[in-house]
Structure 1
Amino acid sequence: MQKKDARTNRRSFLKSSLLLGGLVITQHEPRAQHAPESKEEFSFLAGPYLQTTFANSMTILWVTNREASSWVEYGTSETKLDQKAYGTSELGLKPAGRINRITLERLQPGKTYYYQIVSKELVEFQPYKVTYGPEKRADIEQFTVSDPTKQTVSFLMLNDIHDRPNSIGHLLGLDQEADRDFVFFNGDIFDYQTDEQQLIEHMLTPVTQLFAKHKPFLFVRGNHETRGKFARDIADYFQHIGNSAFTLGPARFVIIDSGEDKEDDHPVYAGIVDFDSYRREQAKWLAEEIQGEAFRRAAFRVVLMHIPPRYSGDAHGATHCTELFEPLFNQGKVDVVLSGHTHRYKIHPPAAGLNNYPIVIGGGPRDGQRTLTRVEMTNQQLNVQLLNDAGEEVGQYTVNRKK
């Protein structure tokens, strides 16, 4: 794997492709988070990176090293960023912190937008006087809004990276096709949650350098993201990490957060988790989702969840997922479930009396076990392909639209 010039990567990205290979990232042992010293220059620590639910909107996220007032300037021309957006106000107060999450609404489908993130440091915050420091601006970037009614959709899935950030660039670099609509990270990107630096170095920096300034990614937790002292903080750095649903082209996508695979009363959790109730709440939500018009009318119904609803052993979380979700997937006539967790890649076809749909399980995290999952669909057909980390096809499945 060779190191490529970042500027060359960026030019190639803007010309033709979502994904770039060969990014080399130095892997560090996680260090304890610390407050930046006052002598450090006010700066961006991560981002900008994009996330979305494809409802003609785009969420832009970034992190600064000190508290700031922040906004996004954007428009349909690189030379005229004539619109401005702030984070969501709460109780009449605009956000003023380090972690920024700003959603641009009512965007035009298929239109390219240019944007620039801006942060102005809050040096002193007195009751009746706010003192600002320097204003920091990133480069102008761009993205194109996906048309929800488009006829074809394609995306990539990674899972079970386990704190090996170089794997992100390596696996994405195996894909040499044209533009993808998004990249999906299906859990266990980390071994456990340590601090902000780990989150930035092992995920946010790689995805930003590779594609996420220009193309969105989605992320759902795996069981390892529920562990560690920083587990309760990571949601702040993403648009969402739990269950959600959205429509893009011919597909209705349903994301389930499968939670931890251990029992809630396991000694390692010291009585401060409740994943059983959390999964039951999602099952209730899913029962309503599969009755909705968007789900029923979709040409394909795609579920993404870290722990598969079957074929992942007899640990409590896995069996609870089978108990809660498999009957609903069958009832809703789900077309495919995409998962990870087992570290053994395999495509399980439908099984009578069990799962009436194929279950695709990505591999990882060691060399020779890692996989990239490619999904492409039209109004009539959905194709899934598994590639190993040498770029060889190790699994393929086609689902035809039900009559």
Structure 2
Amino acid sequence: MKTDRRKFIKKTAGITVLSALSPLMGMGKSSLLSSPNPDNGHVFLTKPYLQNPTSNSMTIMWIVNMPSYSYVEYGINSKMEHTAREVEDGLVVAYNRINQVKLNELKPETTYYYRVVSKEIVKFDPYDLVYGETIKSDIYSFKTPSATADHVSFLVMNDIHDRPHTIPHLMNLYRNTRSDFVFYNGDVFDHQEDEEQIIEHLLAPSCNTFATETPFLFLRGNHETRGKYARKLQYYFSNPGGGQYYDYRWGSVHFTVLDTGEDKNDDHEEYGDIVNFDPYRVEQLEWFKEVSKTKAFKTAKFRVVLMHIPIYYSGNWHGTTHLRALFASEFNKTGIDICISGHTHKYGIHKPVKGKHNYPIIIGGGPIEGNRTIISVKANSSSLSLNMVRDDGTEVGSVEI
């Protein structure tokens, strides 16, 4: 079953570490700092969730309901003899609720155990710091990637549109398969309303299913740019490089992740003159040209692009046509091997068309039952295989490179 995307949208409206991103320092009494439910005492609003993995580091994030001083206890056994906290310019990050701590100097291909700790700060005067209740999470574990292995395996979901039950349902289709990471390829939400939405519709189902022990990476879709809370969404994730678009190398694969922005003109009346995506997409093109010159890109056996709006098979809306004008020839010139997108709510495997797109374009499905998909990708030094499975477990497409 397939659904028209636009009709649907109208219906639903001891180690000290340095952090690459510390968004809460100095934010005062903003909505990110104020407790959403102080009558509950000091509690975790999320379990810890893993972000931005490398062979020698892992970023751990979690949210509490009261301003706190927080840290991670971890080690190669359950004794967890190390402690890591977030430090910025000599100040330990404190009196915040959204926590992001990067564990550095880890050993590749090693299992670590960890738990997170948050100490409520009930008084924070210049010379009078008073702690309240200390809360500790359960103990979880993760395994760092290998520094030398050529293989990588990952899962991709897209266009969930505020249906949190979709996440465990689709992940359950691969419950007996180990993946290195999970990738959210845009439009997890209809729009950005508040923190509770982010927790209940993404973080909680992810943590309850996999994210305490398997990391995920996040990419905005056009719907994540909408709503009064859209400008705060970035504080809930830790992407490579700390930005909305980024690249990374894992095994034999180089990944380029593009933030495709909105699907209509910047001056469209729906946006109220507060978006500016055309220059932003041009900025990404210039960035991609530099990325394509790097050793990580050139020496990769496979080059994968992840972007929410595909440059073909997505109609002639402005976002699609602008992306096509910018990236179509550049993708062909630099030798992209595969592009994975969403947005259209119509799943499909589009084979290469010489001179148009010399690589397959894979588009995941939409949010309606019977049209939801999850994409599995595995690659090593000699081959890359992709399988797309519908929510009833039926394979609906595959690619072998």
Q: TM-score, normalised by structure 2?
A: 0.89
1:56 CA drift (Å): 2.0
Does the 8 Å contact 1:335/1:358 carry over to 2?
yes
Does the 8 Å contact 1:119/1:137 carry over to 2?
yes
Alignment of 1:56-205 (within 5 A): 56-79=56-79, 81-90=80-89, 92-205=91-204
CA spacing shift, 1:277–1:136, aligned 2, 3 Å:
same
Does the 8 Å contact 1:220/1:257 carry over to 2?
yes
1:149 CA drift (Å): 2.1
List alignment gaps of at least 5 residues for structure 2. Answer: 1-11, 14-30
In 2, distance between residues paired with 1:277 and 1:295?
A: 24
1:376 CA drift (Å): 1.0
Offset from partner CA, 1:93-136 (integer Å, 9 cap, x none): 52430000111112111001111100000101112211110111
Letter in 2 for 1:282: Q
Does the 8 Å contact 1:168/1:206 carry over to 2?
yes
Where 2:170 maps in the other structure, the secondary structure is helix
In 2, distance between residues paired with 1:181 and 1:187?
A: 19
Where 1:209 maps in the other structure, the secondary structure is helix
Q: Quick check: 360-369 or 37-46, which moved more?
A: 37-46
Where 1:232 maps in the other structure, the secondary structure is helix
- Report the equivalent of 2:389: 387
Does the 8 Å contact 2:191/2:226 carry over to 1?
yes
1:168 CA drift (Å): 0.6
Does the 8 Å contact 1:88/1:95 carry over to 2?
no
1:176 CA drift (Å): 4.2
In 2, distance between residues paired with 1:118 and 1:216?
A: 19
Does the 8 Å contact 2:67/2:94 carry over to 1?
no
In 2, distance between residues paired with 1:363 and 1:216?
A: 23
Does the 8 Å contact 2:385/2:400 carry over to 1?
yes
In 1, distance between residues paired with 2:87 and 2:326?
A: 34
CA spacing shift, 1:313–1:148, aligned 2, 3 Å:
farther
Does the 8 Å contact 2:156/2:376 carry over to 1?
yes
Letter in 2 for 1:324: L
Question: Are 2:330 and 1:328 equivalent residues in the alignment?
Answer: yes
1:91 CA drift (Å): 6.3
Q: Quick check: 205-214 or 255-264, which moved more?
A: 255-264
Q: Quick check: 354-363 or 240-249, which moved more?
A: 240-249
In 1, distance between residues paired with 2:269 and 2:102?
A: 40
Alignment of 1:1-400 (within 5 A): 35-79=35-79, 81-90=80-89, 92-240=91-239, 242-399=244-401
In 2, distance between residues paired with 1:177 and 1:321?
A: 37
Does the 8 Å contact 1:75/1:113 carry over to 2?
yes
In 1, distance between residues paired with 2:285 and 2:194?
A: 31
- Report the equivalent of 1:20: none
- Report the equivalent of 1:24: none
Where 1:294 maps in the other structure, the secondary structure is helix
1:153 CA drift (Å): 1.4
Letter in 1 for 2:45: L
In 1, distance between residues paired with 2:207 and 2:347?
A: 27
In 2, distance between residues paired with 1:380 and 1:61?
A: 35
List alignment gaps of at least 5 residues for structure 1. Answer: 1-28
1:151 CA drift (Å): 2.8
1:323 CA drift (Å): 1.2
Residues matched between the structures, number:
369
Does the 8 Å contact 1:148/1:247 carry over to 2?
no
Where 2:323 maps in the other structure, the secondary structure is helix
Letter in 1 for 2:236: Y
1:148 CA drift (Å): 3.5
Where 2:47 maps in the other structure, the secondary structure is strand
